[in-house]
Amino acid sequence: MTKLQIFLEIATEAALAGGQVLQEYLGKLEDAIIEKQRPGDLVTAADKASEVVILEILRRHFPEHSILAEESGKLGNQENEYLWAIDPLDGTTNYAHQYPFFAVSIGLLINGVPQVGVIYDPFHNELFRAAQDLGATLNRRPIKVSQTSELSKSLLVSGFAYDRRETSDNNYAEFCHLTHLTQGVRRSGSASLDLAHVACGRLDGYWERGLSPWDITAGVILLQEAGGKVSAYDNTPLKIESGRILATNGYIHNSLSQELQNIPPLSSYISKSLRDG
């Protein structure tokens, strides 16, 4: 096997192991749910236990690699060309409420570029995998993005950052604007699964802000290998560390990018609702 194939297999092993932990804890957390610094930003015993299992597997196979994990932060030599970005439980709020939309996300950046990604939805037993030039799969079967070519016929997905209560830069206006222009906008609560669902054609586009590398690294390579496109909002190259992403099937990318750059203020929708009310 090539190096990337080896990395993909080990990432798969780690994701499946982490997912097994999440299944074991689901519905059994009781008081083991903690709110972090921002309201609504939760961590549970399951997050931590899943991360322990994932880290043990990755360190056993790749002790020299660097790691960026949601709960443990930076580990190892951060100057190493290999950086694993790990979210042991993406969709913690959903998980804490036993809402069945959460996943394990493990991505590998090589010299800052996403090249391997595994996203595992343990509740639905859906395993998304991809590596550079090796294609993208769902449960080992090839996947491709949708062919929706008009924004008006698209189904989009987005999310809201944890600091949405504290900043006007909170995505509410974009959500309203694009709901008016498309067949709908969904809000799932798991960035990795949003990207995975665009990759397999269930959704046509996704945008969000306030993200961390562990939220999107795996999803970026998955979507690219499925034929999709990722960028910054303004269609310039994506910077993983920016916290903002525009991801689509490629066909609606330019249109969605243009709309994101010309969003009216939220107050205009409120005024319209009052007039129509």
Is 90 annotated to bind a ligand? Reply is yes
Question: Tokens standing for 15?
Answer: 């994701």
Give the per-residue SS3 of the chain.
CCHHHHHHHHHHHHHHHHHHHHHHHCCCCCCCEEECCCCCCEEEHHHHHHHHHHHHHHHHHCCCCEEEECCCEEECCCCCCEEEEEEEEECHHHHHCCCCCCEEEEEEEECCEEEEEEEEECCCCEEEEEECCCEEEECCEECCCCCCCCHHHCEEEECCCCCCCCCCCCCHHHHHHHHHHCCEEEECCCHHHHHHHHHCCCCCEEEECCCCHHHHHHHHHHHHHCCCEEECCCCCCCCHHHCCEEEECCCCHHHHHHHHCCCCCHHHHHHHHHHHC
Is 215 annotated to bind a ligand? Reply is yes
Question: Tokens standing for 172?
Answer: 């509410």
Is 87 annotated to bind a ligand? Reply is yes
Is 89 annotated to bind a ligand? Reply is yes
Which positions make up the binding site? 70, 87, 89-90, 215
Residues belonging to the binding site for Mg(2+) are 70, 87, 89-90, 215
